[in-house]
Amino acid sequence: MDFAHRLKDLMRKRGLRTVDLARGIDRSPKTLSDWLAGRLPRDFEGIRAAAKFLGVSVHYMLYGEEDTATPLNKLYEAATITGVYELTVKKVKELETESD
């Protein structure tokens, strides 16, 4: 299922019309019609607003499944509650600096 089908399905399940969602996320009904016709949103904020309004994650909107990765804030909470962790930092590339 692609973005347009997920969006249609979520709208149907919540009893929303195109105009309802458009108002809820501050987009034009034409923009929503484009999304429903299969055009992907041009801006990330549109996806984020739709996901929030529809009560799902951005990951779900884009990929059709919930993200199984642990959010960083949850990792931080776990580290501060359960003890000490060892982190390894790997240098990937040298930063280029301007010479005078």
Domains of the chain: 1-88 (1.10.260.40)
Whole-structure pTM value: 0.64
**What does the mean pLDDT of the chain come to?**
80
Q: What is the pLDDT of residues 36-53, one digit of tens each?
A: 998 888 888 999 999 999
For residues 76 and 25, give the distance between their C-alpha atoms in angstroms, rounded to a whole number: 31
Q: Alpha-carbon distance 64 to 29, whole Å?
A: 23
Retrieve residue 39's tokens: 């055009």
